Structure 1
Amino acid sequence: MGELETLRGIASVLEVSCPFEFQDVFIRELAIDSRKVVMSAQSLFFAISGDRHDGHNFIEPLYEKGVRAFVVNNDYAASDKLDDAFFIRVENPLVALQTVAAAKRAQFNYPLIGVTGSNGKTIIKEWLYQLLSSNYNIVRSPKSYNSQVGVPLSVWRMKSENNLAIIEAGISMPGEMVKLEGIIRPTIGIFTNLGQAHDENFTDGNQKAREKLDLFQNVDTLIYCKDYLIIQEELNQYPFASKPKFFS
C-alpha cells in the first residue's frame, strides 16, 4: 500500500490537513456515483456538481451506508449527525479528483497507451488487451470510462503489479484534452479516426483534430491513420514536446 492510498496521502496531495484518527484510513475506491459505491469503509466520495445532479445531496445517504470520507466544496455545511465523517474541503471536487489521479499516475513508470478518436476507442482498447494480456499485466479503462471523471477513475486503478496501462480519452469541448493529458501522460498514442461526434462544439474538423492531438504532446510513439487528411495536416504542424515516432 502506498502513501497515496491513505487519506493522509490524498489530503496531502490536495494540500489539506488530515486529523490523526483518519490518517491511516486505506482508500481503495474513488467514487462519484452514490449508486455504485461498493467498499463503503474504504471509499472516498467526490461530491461533484453537474447539470443534473449535485453530489452533495447524496452525502447523508452514503454516510448511512458506511462512507466516512468525502471531498466537498468549501462552503458545504455538514449536519451534526455527520460528526464522525472526514470532509476534505476544496474549491472544486472535480479538479480535486483529477489532481489525485494525476498524482497516482506519477507513481508509475511503465508504458501507458493512450487511445482517442471519434470512434473505436473502447474497441481498440479491448482488442489490445486481448492481444497483449498473455505477455503483460495490464490495467485498462473499465467500459468506456473516457470523460473528465471517467479518466481519473481509470487511472486510479493503476497498481505496482501492472506493467502496462491502456487508457482511453474522449472529449466533447475545446480545452478538455489538455486536462486529460495531464492525468494520463501516455507514452504511446493511438489516434483511431476523426468523425462527426461533437462537431457542434468545434469551429471545424481541424480544431477538433488539434484538440485531440493534445493527448499526445509528450508521447514517444504515435499510431494513426494517415488516410484522414485532416489528422495528417494537423500532425505536420503540431508542436510536440519532442517529435515522436510515427506509425500509420
Structure 2
Amino acid sequence: MYSIEHIRQISNGQWWQVSNKEAPIAHLLTDSRKVIFAKSALFFALVGKNHDGHQYLLHAYRQGIRHFIISRKVKIQLPDANIIVVQDSLAALQQIAAHHRQQFDLLCIGITGSNGKTIVKELLFQVLRHHYKIVRSPKSYNS
C-alpha cells in the first residue's frame, strides 16, 4: 500500500487537485464498471483506440472513487478528490507497477509470443503451485 503522494512521486505527476496527500492506495483500476474497495482505489483514465478513460471519471466518482490519475485536465467537478495529472496515464500505471515489482526479490517468469500465453501460464501454475507460492495475472490479462 502506498500513499497517493508516494504514487504521485513515482509517476512524476503534478497535483491538479488535492484532498488528502496521505490517503492510502491499495487498488489500481482502469475500468469504472469494476470498482472494488473504492475508498483505497486509484482510477487511471487510460486513453485507447476506442475509449477515453477521461469520459468515465464522473462515473468512477459516483461509484465512490476519490483518487484519479489523468493525462489531460477536464471540466468536471470532483469534490474531495485527489487528482494527479501525468503526461501519459498508461506510462504512469507502468511506472507504478515497475516500482512495486522492484520492492520484491522474487523469481519472475515471463511468457512471450503471439499465441498460447494464457494456456502456458495456466499450465505452469498447475505444475508449480504444489512446490512454490505462485502469483499470476487473472484471466487472460497478460500484459
Q: TM-score, normalised by structure 2?
A: 0.89
Partner residue, 1:64: 62
Which of 69, 76, 79 pairs up with 1:79?
76
Q: 1-side partners of 2:19 and 2:91: how far apart? A: 26
Higher helix share: 1
Which protein has the larger Cα radius of gyration, Structure 1 or Structure 2? 1
Match of 2:11 in 1: 14
Provide the C-alpha distance between the structure 1 equivalents of 2:73 and 2:46, rounded to a whole number of angstroms.
12
1:133 alignment partner in structure 2: 129
The 3-state SS of whatever aligns with 1:52 is: coil
User: d(CA) in 2 for partners of 1:83 and 1:66?
Assistant: 12
Distance 1:96 1:15, change over 3 A: same
Question: Any stretches of 5+ residues in structure 1 without a counterpart?
Answer: 152-248
- Counting aligned pairs with the same residue, the percent is 43
Q: Give the SS at the match of 2:69.
A: strand
Q: Please tell me the residue identity of whatever aligns with 1:104.
A: H
How far residue 126 of structure 1 moved from its aligned partner, in angstroms, is: 0.9
CA RMSD in angstroms comes to 1.9
TM-superposed deviation, 1:58: 0.6
Q: Cα deviation per residue 1:5-36 (whole Å; 9 max; x = unaligned)?
A: 22122111023466885233222211111111
Task: Please state how far the C-alpha of 1:137 moved relative to its aligned partner.
Answer: 1.3
Relative contact order higher in (CA < 8 Å, ≥ 6 apart): 2
1:88 and 1:46 mapped to 2: Cα distance? 10
Superposed counterparts of 1:136-147, under 5 Å: 136-146=132-142
Q: Distance in 2 between matches of 1:63 and 1:89?
A: 16
Which of 48, 51, 56 aligns to 1:50? It is 48
Query: How is 1:198-209 mapped onto 2 (pairs within 5 angstroms)?
Result: none
Match of 1:39 among 37, 40, 44: 37
Report what 1:102 is aligned to.
98
Q: Deviations over 1:182-220 (max 9, x none)?
A: xxxxxxxxxxxxxxxxxxxxxxxxxxxxxxxxxxxxxxx
